[in-house]
Amino acid sequence: MRSSIASTTLQRPRYRTQDSFFRGRGLLTLLLGVALIWSLTSVNWTGSIVHPGGLSAIGEFFKAAFTPELSGSFLGLTLGSAWTTVAYAVAGICLAVLLGFPLGVLASGVLAKSAGRRVAQVAGFRIVLGFLRAIHELVWAWLFVVALGLSPMAAILALAIPYGGILGRIYADILNDVPQEPLRALRSSGASEWKVLLYGRLPMALPDMLSYSFYRFECAIRAAAIMGFVGIGGLGMQIQLSLGDLFYNEVWTLLYALIGLVLLVDVWSTWLRRSLTQ
């Protein structure tokens, strides 16, 4: 009798381990490994990976990093292009927040009065958010350039639409993940779901929402620079022109300006997040 109980006790962890493997991270790791092997076997490895002269070009490019172009005229051009890029990013991310916040609240379902309405509301608005963020900002930029021409509004809208979808999706998850105990206390005192949202969910979710918004602002600066490759202006257009002329020194000056902008936003967001949480 004791031996049978002992054998049963010893066998149970093995079954739990197998179940946890197929339901947890083990299965995900296995699927990612299979996908990696499949992708590697799908690549044509018979051709040359680097074209003739490519290594020397790469060497010249990175060598120019130590001697960026620092003439007064080009530094002025760089500052003007950086300012244009920041202006696009600020306007785009502000419109994205204005679009993503109400859609995120609706996609979270926190204001729904019944379970059935909540399911329909969450599903419907998450589909909308999925559509907005499914199309890359560069594709939106091409579409708006065709519709509006080489206008700053083309770059701003191309940033606002997909970033609004991304922010709305994250905002919805953050609002759903706040602790429930303070919310129950508000409801027990007679507060409506609107008041629970304003006085309960938002104050607790605000630091995380701001943190992610600033992270997206960093991404918006990089994306605004990419907008220059469709001719809208900013650092990206200058990088494209300098690359086309093989002026690698100028390219690195522009890249350093872009890196500096991202670092400034990172320092600013860190300071603001700490001031809100202290």
Question: Is residue 21 pLDDT above 60, yes or no?
Answer: no
The angle at the Cα of 266, spanning 264 to 202, to the nearest 5 degrees, equals: 130
Residue 26's Cβ-side half-sphere holds a number of Cα atoms within 13 Å equal to: 8
Mean pLDDT in residue range 259-269: 85
Mean pLDDT in residue range 75-88: 91
Question: Is residue 48 pLDDT above 70, yes or no?
Answer: no
Question: Is residue 83 pLDDT above 80, yes or no?
Answer: yes
In a domain, 248, yes or no: yes
Structure confidence at residue 102 (pLDDT): 94
* Total residue count of the chain as it appears in this document: 278
How many C-beta neighbours within 10 Å does residue 82 have? 20
In a domain, 249, yes or no: yes
In a domain, 54, yes or no: no
Question: Is residue 14 pLDDT above 70, yes or no?
Answer: no
In a domain, 189, yes or no: yes
Structure confidence at residue 159 (pLDDT): 92
What is the residue type of 170? I
Question: Is residue 44 pLDDT above 90, yes or no?
Answer: no
Residue 144 burial (CB < 10 Å; 0-12/13-18/19+)?
buried
Inter-residue contact 199 to 133 (CB < 8 Å): no
In a domain, 117, yes or no: yes
Backbone dihedral angles phi then psi of residue 246, each to the nearest 5 degrees: 60, 30
Q: Among 98, 107, 108, 104, which residue's Cα sits nearest to residue 160?
A: 98
In a domain, 230, yes or no: yes
Question: Is residue 134 pLDDT above 60, yes or no?
Answer: yes
In a domain, 29, yes or no: no
> Residue 24 carries which DSSP code?
S
Question: Is residue 5 pLDDT above 90, yes or no?
Answer: no
Q: Which domain holds residue 129?
A: 90-277
Question: Is residue 8 pLDDT above 50, yes or no?
Answer: no
Q: Among 167, 165, 156, which residue's Cα sits nearest to residue 227?
A: 156
Question: Is residue 137 pLDDT above 50, yes or no?
Answer: yes
Q: Among 134, 144, 141, 119, which residue's Cα sits nearest to residue 166?
A: 134
pTM above threshold 0.75: yes
Provide the number of structural domains found in the chain.
Answer: 1
